[in-house]
Amino acid sequence: MITIKTEKEISIMREGGGILAKIMKELEKEAKPGVTTEYLDKVASGLVLKYNGECSFKNYQGFPACLCVSVNEELVHVIPSERVLKEGDVVCLDLGIKHKGFHADMAVTVGIGKVEPEALRLIKVTKKALKRGIKKAKPGNTFGDIGNTISRYVESQGFSVIKDLCGHGIGREIHEDPQILNYGKRKTGPVIKEGMVFCIEPMVSTGDWRIKRAQDNYGYATKDDSVAAHFEHTIAITKKGAEILTEV
């Protein structure tokens, strides 16, 4: 069931989303050549504690860390480790926090130092796909409208949308109904209504859309080892359209 949030609940989620956006800005600064993904997780944990929040992902379905850090062909949910970031890597930082009983979820992809032109284009296209998807998130449209817009844009740029992973509703639980695909047909799926809060998160690869388990046997990677990117915002639906909650 898709829950409708009250204005008070959305206000709390706006607070949490703003905190998460600040934390993510700090993490982006720390992602540079020579640091380990485990180090980034420690920074994330410290920042969440500083803002009196809780790490949404820690212990969720057995995940042992606060931050998901996925590198190059890795897509999502990869456990931080002693892996050292190097010049040219493409790194996704995915973080959720719990604030006053409600969750917020956000992901960004960054290039480490100087990256290949095609990888840089992948990052830009994925970020723009998220923006286009958010524009379709307004009362009266459907979730199929969001997915259709994302996939058509991504494919027009020569990249592939990952089809086996998706966005989701969010609130008192980190994952709520509905599932939000990054592809689909217009005018299909549930109708978007005022008061809904959910996460849109396009995941895009330079190669094929199929996926496999990552080396840690927890997260996911592209099956053909092509480079991937991932962006995500938590948004609330208002009379005027989508309000991005995970912004500073």
pLDDT exceeds cutoff 90 at 223 = yes
- Residue 242 structure tokens: 């989508």
pLDDT exceeds cutoff 90 at 239 = no
Average pLDDT (116-123) is 98
The whole-number pLDDT of residue 155 equals: 98
Per-residue pLDDT band for 240 (boundaries 50, 70, 90) equals: confident
Q: Mean pLDDT over all residues of the chain? A: 98
Q: Which residue has the higher pLDDT, 240 or 118?
A: 118
Say whether pTM exceeds 0.85: yes
> pLDDT tens digit string along 172-208?
999 999 999 999 999 999 999 999 999 999 999 999 9
**Extents of the domains making up the chain:** 7-244
- Residue 3 structure tokens: 């829950």
The whole-number pLDDT of residue 52 equals: 97
Query: Following CA atoms 158, 162, 163, 166 in sequence, which dihedral angle do they give, to the nearest 10 degrees?
Result: -130
Question: How far apart, in whole angstroms, are the C-alpha atoms of residue 207 and residue 228?
Answer: 8
Tell which CATH architecture fits domain 7-244.
Alpha-Beta Complex (3.90)
Average pLDDT (62-78) is 97
> pLDDT tens digit string along 121-153?
999 999 999 999 999 999 999 999 999 999 999
E strands in the chain: 54-55, 67-71, 74-76, 90-99, 102-111, 160-161, 167-169, 176-180, 197-200, 203-205, 211-213, 220-222, 228-230, 233-238, 241-244
Question: How far apart, in whole angstroms, are the C-alpha atoms of residue 100 and residue 200?
Answer: 22
Angle (CA) 217 223 227, round 5°: 100
